[in-house]
Structure 1
Amino acid sequence: MTTLILGGTGKTGRRVAQRVRNARIASRAGGFDLGDPASWALTGVTACYLVEPDLQAARLPRFVDHAVAAGVSRLVLLSAPRAGEEGHPLHAAEQAVRGSGVGWTILRPQWFAQNFSEGPWAPGIRAGVLSLPAGDGGAPFVDAEDIADVAVAALTGDRHHGEVYDLTGPRAVGFGEAVDVIARAAGREIEYVDVEPEAFVERQISFGVPSPVARLLTGLLADLREGRGADLGDGVERALGRPPRTFERFVAATTWT
C-alpha cells in the first residue's frame, strides 16, 4: 500500500506520515497544489488522507474523483464538527467522500490541543497573553496524536469503512484553566484574556486572515462562551478501544519555550 497524505507537513498530516508505511507526502513545499490536477501524483496510491487547508476553497470533491479514478480504494477525510450540515465549508467534501464508491472514513475533531503549542494560539502563549473571544467557555481539546492514531487505523483497517468519528478529549477544559496548566508546565506567567468577538474579527483581518474565515473561526470561539461546542465525542474510544489522551498529558509531553 502507498498512502498519499495531503497536508503531510501539518499538525495531523506529519503525525500520520510518521505512522504509516510507504507514505507519500503531498505538500506545497513538494510542489503539490490541491487546485492543480497536474501536480497530483496518484500513480500507485491506494489510500488517501484528505485535508483542505483553505476553508474558502472547494477543491476536495474534484480531487476525490481523480483519486478514485486513479485506483485509490480508501479515503480518510479530516473534517470538522457540523460539517454534515448544508452551508459548512467542508460539507461538499464530506458528500464527495461518502459518494465516492470506495471505503471511506470521516474524522470530525474538536479544537486541537496543539493549537496552543504549534497553531494559531501559540504566539499568545509565547508572549504570555492569550486573547480569545471564548469567555469562560471551554472545549474538549483533542490531542493531534489521537487524531493521527484514528486516521492510521482507518487508512489501514477495513473495520472503519463508513464510520464518522467525532474526536474530542475526555472532558471540556476552559481556556483559563488550560493556560494555567501550560503556565505551570512552562514555569512562567501566562494570562488568558477574554475579548469581544467583533474586536477579535477585526484583529484577525488586520493580520491578513480573509474576512469570511475570520468570522467563521470567531463564531466558533464565541459559541464556546455561550456554552456550545463542549459536547464530548466517543470517536477515539470507538476507533481505538481506549480513552482519548487528557489535556494534562498533552501539556506534559510538550516543550514550552
Structure 2
Amino acid sequence: MEKILVLGGTGKTGRRVVRRLKAAGLQAGTASRTGGDVPFDLGRPQTWAPALDGAAAVYVVEPDLRPGLDRRARVPAFVAEAVAAGVRRLVLLSAYGVGEAGDDHPLKSAERAVRESGVGWTILRPDWFSQNFSEAFWRQGILAGTLALPTGDGRTPFVDAEDIAEVAAAALTEECHSGRIYHLTGPRAIGFGEAAGLIGRATGRTIRHVDVAPEVFVARQVANGVPSKVARLLTGLLVNIREGRGATPSDGVQQALGRPPGRFEDYVAETAAAGHWN
C-alpha cells in the first residue's frame, strides 16, 4: 500500500487529515518536529528524505510564516525533493487571499512551486478556522469571558477545520481534484460579537466581544511576549476583517465535496458538548 505523508501531522488540520485517511484504511504517515511518526522540520533538509521514503502523496504545510524570516524557498525546495523521490500528488494548505497577495507573501512561492511541480496538485485556501476559538488564538479570551480584538463589526465566514481536512483527504486520494484551487469558507459571514454570543449560550456563560484599537492590540501582544513584527502582522489580518475584506463566503467546500460547509453553530454545539471550553 502506498504511503501518504502528512506534514504537520499532529497539527490542527494535519491530525484530522490523518484520522480520515486511516479510517479509510489508507497508510498515512505523520511528519512533524515532535510527536509524529517521523521527525521532520522544513528548516532541516536532512530530515526530508527519511520522511519522503515510500510516499506517493504529500499534504504540504508551511508551519512558520513569521515576518522577518525568509521562508519563501523552503516549500519550493521540499517540493523539488519530493518529486525527485517519486511523489506523484501534492496538496498544499495555503491561505485565503494568497491569490491577490504580492509576490513577497511567503505562500506565493509555495503555491507556484506546487503548480509547476509536474505532478498532480491541489491548493487549499481556507478562511479563518472556527477552531481558533477553541484550540488556539482566541480560546483564552473565550475562557476569560472577554474576546478583545480589533475587528469592530466586521464579519468573516469561519471555516471548520473538519471541512478543510475532508477536502484535503479527498484531494490526496482522488484524481478529480488535480489542478484545482479551492477557496474554503463557512456558509455565511458572522461577526465576533455573534460568535461570542453563540459560544456563551452553548456554555451557559457570559462571553462578550470588545473592540479594541489596532495600536492597543499590538501593544498588548508585545507586552505578552509576541515579537513586534508578528503582532503587527496578526493585527493587520484582523483589521482586514474590521474593514470588510474577504467577508464573502465561497463555495469551495461544495465544489470539492458535493455538500455545503459545516455551520459555525454546529461547530459551537459540538465543541461545547466535548467540554473544550470548560
TM-score when normalising by structure 2: 0.90
Residue 249 of structure 1, CA deviation: 0.6
1:224 to 241, 244, 256: 241
- Superposed structure 1 runs of 4+ greater than 4 Å apart: none
Q: Which range moves more in the overlay, 82-91 or 185-194?
A: 82-91
1:46 aligned counterpart, secondary structure? strand
Aligned residue identity for 2:44: D
Answer yes or no: is 1:245 the counterpart of 2:255.
no
Aligned residue identity for 1:136: D
Which runs of no fewer than 5 residues in structure 2 stay unpaired?
none
Q: After superposition, what is the alpha-carbon deviation per residue over 1:12-53, rounded to whole angstroms, capped at 9, x for unaligned?
A: 000001011211101111431111111122110011111111
Report the equivalent of 2:130.
113
2:180 to 163, 188, 191: 163
Equivalent-residue separation in structure 2 for 1:36 and 1:201 (angstroms): 31
Answer yes or no: is 1:122 the counterpart of 2:130.
no
Report the equivalent of 2:92.
77
Report the equivalent of 1:207.
224
Q: After superposition, what is the alpha-carbon deviation per residue over 1:208-233, rounded to whole angstroms, capped at 9, x for unaligned?
A: 33333322221111011111121111
2:46 to 38, 52, 62: 38
Which runs of no fewer than 5 residues in structure 1 stay unpaired?
none
- The answer on whether the counterparts of 1:137 and 1:225 sit within 8 Å (CA) in structure 2 is yes
Report the equivalent of 1:62.
77
Equivalent-residue separation in structure 2 for 1:87 and 1:134 (angstroms): 25
Residue 195 of structure 1, CA deviation: 0.8
Equivalent-residue separation in structure 1 for 2:246 and 2:231 (angstroms): 18
Equivalent-residue separation in structure 1 for 2:59 and 2:172 (angstroms): 8
Q: After superposition, what is the alpha-carbon deviation per residue over 1:95-129, rounded to whole angstroms, capped at 9, x for unaligned?
A: 11111110000000000000000011011111111
CA RMSD of aligned residues (A): 1.1
1:47 to 28, 47, 57: 57
Closer/same/farther in 2, CA of residues 60 and 207 from structure 1, 3 Å limit: farther
Equivalent-residue separation in structure 2 for 1:207 and 1:90 (angstroms): 27
Residue 138 of structure 1, CA deviation: 1.1
1:147 to 137, 159, 164: 164
Residue 88 of structure 1, CA deviation: 1.8
Report the equivalent of 1:181.
198
Aligned length, in residue pairs: 257
Aligned residue identity for 2:77: R
Report the equivalent of 2:17.
16
Task: Tell me the percent identity.
Answer: 65
Equivalent-residue separation in structure 1 for 2:136 and 2:224 (angstroms): 15
Aligned residue identity for 1:70: A
Equivalent-residue separation in structure 2 for 1:245 and 1:69 (angstroms): 38
Aligned residue identity for 1:4: L
